[in-house]
Amino acid sequence: MPLFRRREAPTTSPQPRRPPTGTGGGDHPAPPATPIATTLAEAGRWSLRLLLVTAVVVGALWVVGRMWVVVLPALLGLLLSTALWPLARRLRRVVPAAAAAGAAVLTGLLVLGGLVAAVTYLVLDEVDSLSEQFSQGVEDIEAWLAGPPLDLGDDEVGDLVGRAVDQVQDSAQDIAAWTLTGVSTASSWALTALLALVLCFFFLKDGPRFLPWLEHWLSPGPAAHAAEVSRRSWTVLGGFVRAQAAVGLADAIGIGIGLLVLGVPLALPLAVITFLAAFVPVVGAVVAGALAAVVALATQGLTTALIVVGLVLVVQQLEGNVLQPLLMGKTLSLHPAMTIVVVTLGSTLAGITGAFLAVPVLAVLTTTARYARELTVAARERATT
């Protein structure tokens, strides 16, 4: 006798199932859902999804904030390594990886240190003449305030200056506290910079081993996706750093030549500051331009200051309408409005550091989202064929 008996087919055909009846027990079907009920149900599902995504994002930001002392040097070291990687890659062809990484980091330090030393030397070299020009500039500003169209008068201008001096004296303790805080912040930044340089060295030295290591610890499917996202993110970050350096160099040359023609003191230091400030999108350009206008106002007068403001605006328009789309359009493909939003958000959350890191972080997130969309589109095309 077999262990499993074959079930014989029924001799009679099964009766067809009747459609479901209404809840009231009658034969009428249930009424269809109204458009309002369907819309509310769909809105509820999307609201739940948004709440879950928001919770994940808030949790991730909290973890990053708790580990910021390590995350910040790692991010800075990664950005610096993308800038120095072309040099390190060429050096790796003739010297070992460690020597190539060390030489690239040392070259970067020498370039940055040379810029800072040049700015410091030029500023100190013009301190004596600048003090006289600033004094004369302050007197000119007071005379302008006392005359038309403001007509404040000498007494009112003196009262304003006196109140400003009294306010500074009353805030002496606060200024001392801010100075101590600045010293503490400077020491913290020095430690962060040192750690970033060390991490940059290891990124340059052992960076090519990252993808094989990642593929070793992940299964084949996720490893392939993670490797592709890592390659694209590295390309985007390198393009961002190089394009931002080119934009900053163009801004520095344009504004520096204009300041030299106008005879504004500290033209070369202001040009170097403009180049360095360009790595903070939007905000850096505004700060550098304002600083140049203030120096022109205090040394050359209101007319020259207005000309400097116009020069900065012209250079910024050329940057925003020509250089940025040309150099960053293919690399980042980010709308200027989105850049302004993320820079503002980053500065709100983490100050200058957040403003500096906002665009690279957005570029990596956008690259990941585009790759996910490519996978989704490919899956849909395979399903339809």
User: Do residues 129 and 266 lie in contact, with contact meaning Cβ atoms separated by under 8 Å?
Assistant: no
**Long-range pairs, 165-171, Cβ under 8 A, ≥24:** none
**pTM as predicted:** 0.67
The confidence score (pLDDT) of residue 206 equals 86
Residue ranges of the chain with per-residue pLDDT less than 50:
1-6, 9, 22-25, 168-169, 171-172, 175-176, 178-180, 182-183
Q: What is the pLDDT of residue 51?
A: 92
What pLDDT does residue 4 have? 45
Range of the domain at 95: 62-131+192-217
38 lies in some domain: no
The pair of structure tokens assigned to 170 is: 């009353």
Distance CA 89, CA 95 (A): 10
Domain membership flag for residue 172 = no
How many angstroms from the chain centroid is the CA of residue 128?
38
Amino acid at 334: L
pLDDT of residue 10: 52
pLDDT of residue 341: 78
Instruction: Name the amino acid, one letter, at 202.
Output: F
In a domain, 150, yes or no: no
> How many domains, the chain?
1
- 77 belongs to a structural domain: yes
pLDDT at residue 179, as a whole number: 44
The pLDDT tens digits of the residues spanning 294-311 come to 888 777 777 888 888 888
Q: What is the pLDDT of residue 174?
A: 52
Per-residue buried b or exposed e for 247-286, using 16+ beta carbons within 10 Å of the residue's own CB: bbebbbebbbebbeebebbbbbbbbbbbbbbbbbbbbbbe
- Give tens-digit pLDDT for 1-36: 444 444 554 555 555 555 555 444 455 565 666 778
Query: Helix 153-170 vs helix 172-206: angle between axes, to the nearest 10 degrees?
Result: 70
Give me the pLDDT at residue 3, please.
Answer: 44
> Is residue 352 a part of any domain in this protein?
no
Q: Is 25 among the domain residues?
A: no
203 belongs to a structural domain: yes
Q: What is the pLDDT of residue 105?
A: 92
The residue with tokens 């302008």 is 144
With CA atoms as reference, report the closest residue to 304 among 254, 258, 262. Answer: 262
Arithmetic mean of pLDDT over the chain: 76
On whether residue 67 sits in a domain, the answer given is yes
